[in-house]
Structure 1
Amino acid sequence: MANPASPKPMRADTERTVRAILEAAERVLSANPAATVEQIAEAAGVARTTVHRRFASRDALIAALAAWATQRFREAVEAARPDTAPPAVALHQATVNVLRVKVSWRFAMDATATRADPEVARVHAGILASCERLFARARDTGLLGPDTDLDWARRVYYALIHEAAAQEPSTDAAVDAQATRVVTTLLHGLGGPKEAIGA
């Protein structure tokens, strides 16, 4: 079975075929989660036997799709340079990048939450560590308050991204606007005087 998360390199033509199958699977399964392998193969423009050569079963295909999307998620976070870019820049860019992945790979990202795949778990642990370091840098540079509960802030951030992705922004401008909304809400809340909440 092909595994896009495996470090073993694939031939270029094999990689193109696998990517075409995975992209087709995302499109087809997003529209119809009960879609068959035959429908996915048709959407990918390949024979059903080609899909079965790469993936032993429909479940194996979905597992590979989840692993593939997890790698895209990791790349999205890394591309924002969370350990080296100014925290405000890294936070905004990571939000933009992650939103693009969550919108483009919606079915696959949902599938990662329901699968106990050790490789997916390892990648997510690395992403979590990057996010924790970024939030610590944001606090240390004053972007977040000195008494910020970083675990709570991170969880709120994830929830905001989830809601922003649910709006399904369909253009780069829309994704950027949603990312700005997420970061602004995280850093500044929804406004209003502190007295209104008894501060």
Structure 2
Amino acid sequence: MRDDTERTPGPGRARRADAERTVRAILAAAERVLSQEPGATMERIAAEAGVARTTVHRRFATREDLVSSLTVLAAQQLEAAVLAGRPESAPPLVALHEVTANVLRIKRTWSFAMGVHSEHPEVMRVHTDTRARCVALFRRARDAGAVRSDVDPDWASRVYYGLIQAAAEDLAEEPTPAELDAAAARVVDTLFTGVGAGGGTPHRSG
């Protein structure tokens, strides 16, 4: 006799799945609303999510709890985007381009949450791990000869972060894949070739 226990979700599992979908819908609605109206109420967020205000309050006791959960979700999306670029295994410049495009997408999709300073342990872990992966990627690029041997990978990663932020600010709210690819290429090109007309260091006068 065939045992379908593992194939047929039980009532408890189905309820958990429904609850998770509801939470994700609320958080996605919160991002949409708060990115346009940072002071929006829980009631406004509930309306955007298509649920009752009481449903939002059952999942999040306060507005602060909701925003905290939103920052955690955004951080986890950021980590997944970085890992999808294969920073530890793809050729360094290929990985850098892919990671850049992926991160730009997350920064636009979760613009409100990414702009919130959070000390939530999970958010802090993600940002610490992401910075470490970025530094390691620039170290790989240096070892592969794509970056000068005298370049500090930590300094390069900080410059890179600044370029990504500037590029994200120039993107449309919902950039197309082609726009993300072009923005990523611009970041990488600026990082590796700069904006000067020549390859040398300009001389100071006087």
TM-score under structure 1 length normalisation: 0.91
Counterparts of 1:195 and 1:147, CA distance in 2: 16
Change (3 A) 1:195 1:179: closer
Match of residue 42 from structure 2: 37
Gaps of 5+ in 2: 1-14
Query: Identity over the aligned pairs, expressed in percent?
Result: 55
1:11 alignment partner, SS class: helix
Work out whether 1:80 is the aligned partner of 2:91. no
Gaps of 5+ in 1: 1-9
Work out whether 1:143 is the aligned partner of 2:126. no
| Two-structure CA RMSD over aligned residues (Å) | 1.4
Match of residue 100 from structure 2: 95
The superposition leaves residues 62-86 of structure 1 with CA deviations (integer Å, 9 ceiling, x where unpaired) of 0000010000000010011101010
CA offset at residue 194 of structure 1?
Answer: 3.8
Is the Cα–Cα contact under 8 Å of residues 78 and 106 in structure 2 kept in the other structure? Answer: yes
Is the Cα–Cα contact under 8 Å of residues 118 and 124 in structure 2 kept in the other structure? Answer: no
Work out whether 1:70 is the aligned partner of 2:93. no
Change (3 A) 1:183 1:118: same
CA offset at residue 92 of structure 1?
Answer: 0.2
Aligned length: 188
Match of residue 64 from structure 2: 59
2:66 alignment partner, SS class: helix
1:83 alignment partner, SS class: coil
Counterparts of 2:133 and 2:18, CA distance in 1: 33
Is the Cα–Cα contact under 8 Å of residues 108 and 168 in structure 2 kept in the other structure? Answer: yes
Residue 163 (structure 1) aligned to one of 162, 166, 170: 166
